[in-house]
Amino acid sequence: MKTLKIIKIGGNIIDNEAALQQFLSDFSTITTPKILVHGGGKLATKLAQQMQVDVKMVDGRRITDQETLDIITMVYAGKINKNIVAQLQANNCNAIGFSGADGNTIVSDLRPSKPIDYGFAGDVKKVNTETLEILLNNEITPVFCAITHDKNGQLLNTNADTIASELAIGFASKYNTELYYCFEKNGVLKNVNNDHSVIENINTESYKTLVENKVIFEGMLPKLNNCFHAINHQVQKVCIGKSDMLFDKNIKHTTITK
Ligand SMILES: Nc1ncnc2c1ncn2[C@@H]1O[C@H](COP(=O)(O)OP(=O)(O)O)[C@@H](O)[C@H]1O
Ligand SMILES: CC(=O)N[C@@H](CCC(=O)OP(=O)(O)O)C(=O)O
């Protein structure tokens, strides 16, 4: 089986022009089939505040009313996605930008309004890989933003970490699928303020203890839930760390196992 790398980058890389340029230049050298997934939550928050639109996050997820949906569509599917695709083209990496509506690639259900009404937020129901496979077979790299659709004309905001794990699961029967979450720290840390305290391996059991001891909190909680969801659904490899882990085997990072 061929290897497919699904790589998610967070706000720390997107918000820093030099870091993004360096990452995309390195990413372009990856020779195996690959899919890039990007977030952009921080930029959406900044723009919403400039436009005097209230920003409400609950458990790391954005409450998405109509105005917020318009902003995130402009920011995620527009500014960020198109800039990344243009920079990949500059690095001779042929790429095409996607939301889940494009090619009907990711269909979601509107998240139930109870216990918390998240507004236009989607829970992934189905990943359609056919169109993406045609691209991958022709050495074209899909670049996904954090937007899906409900197949009834409604766009839905969907966490980028979830998009990455669901894509990885969707491809797991066809490729040896590897999922990489790149963010600003070296991995999951014993002490969040000490980048040298990387926990190199987390399994289902040690995860429970780490949560109980509050070593893991905030955004890392949904990220790790996505990791375990993927590793329990045939994804071969799941890693969290700085993007350098993709290019240098000696860089410490966290690997998730069952
Ligand atoms: N044990 C931990 N190790 C590393 N980060 C942690 C840990 N516990 C909580 N976090 C927090 O999780 C955040 C990463 O989650 P998030 O902001 O959602 O990532 P992303 O940048 O990919 O969107 C880190 O910035 C950190 O504040
Ligand atoms: C529903 C929901 O919360 N969606 C996220 C999507 C963006 C994202 O996930 O961006 P990062 O990976 O940079 O945090 C949001 O709007 O913030």
Domain harbouring 68, CATH code: 3.40.1160.10
CA distances to 4, 33, 148, 200 from 28, in Å? 14, 11, 25, 27
What pLDDT band is residue 59 in, cutting at 50, 70 and 90?
A: confident
**Rounded CA separation 179/169 (Å):** 9
Q: Where in the sequence is the domain holding 139, given as residue range(s)?
A: 3-256
pLDDT value at 40 more than 90: yes
Tens digit of each residue's pLDDT (9 = 90 or more) over 75-87 = 999 999 999 999 9
Q: What is the pLDDT of residues 124-158, one digit of tens each?
A: 999 999 999 999 999 999 999 999 999 999 999 99
Is 62 known to sit in a ligand binding site?
yes
Crossing angle for the helix pair 220-231 and 204-212, to the nearest 10 degrees: 170
Q: For ligand 1, what atom is nearest to the CA of residue 181? A: 22
**pLDDT tens digits for range 186-226:** 999 999 999 999 999 999 999 999 999 999 998 899 999 99
CB contact set of 28 (below 8 Å; sequence gap of 6+): 88, 91, 92, 93
Query: Is residue 219 part of an annotated ligand binding site?
Result: no
Q: Shortest CA distance to 157 belongs to which of 86, 230, 56?
A: 56
% of the chain surpassing 90 pLDDT: 96
Output the CA 44–ligand 2 centroid distance in Å: 9
Note the pTM of the prediction, 2 decimals.
Answer: 0.97
Distance 1 CA to ligand 2 centre (A): 32
pLDDT surpassing 90 at residue 12:
no
- Ligand 1 binding pocket includes 185 (Cβ within 6 Å): yes
Q: How many whole angstroms from 55 Cα to the centroid of ligand 2?
A: 12
Q: Quickly list DSSP for the chain.
A: --EEEEEEE-HHHHT-HHHHHHHHHHHTT--S-EEEEE--HHHHHHHHHHTT----EETTEE-B-HHHHHHHIIIIIIIIHHHHHHHHHHTT--EEEE-TTGGG-EEEEEPPSSSS--BSBEEEEEE--HHHHHHHHTT-EEEE-SEEE-SSS-EEE--HHHHHHHHHHHHTTTSEEEEEEE-SSSSSBSSTT-TT-B--EE-HHHHHHHHHTTSS-TTHHHHHHHHHHHHTTT--EEEEE-GGGGT-TTS--EEE--
What value does the mean pLDDT take over residues 17-41?
97
- Ligand 1 in contact with 170 (CB < 6 A)? no
Mean residue pLDDT of the chain comes to: 97
Annotated ligand binding at 157? The verdict is yes
Domain count, the chain: 1
> Average pLDDT, stretch 228-247?
97
Residue with tokens 């070593």: 215
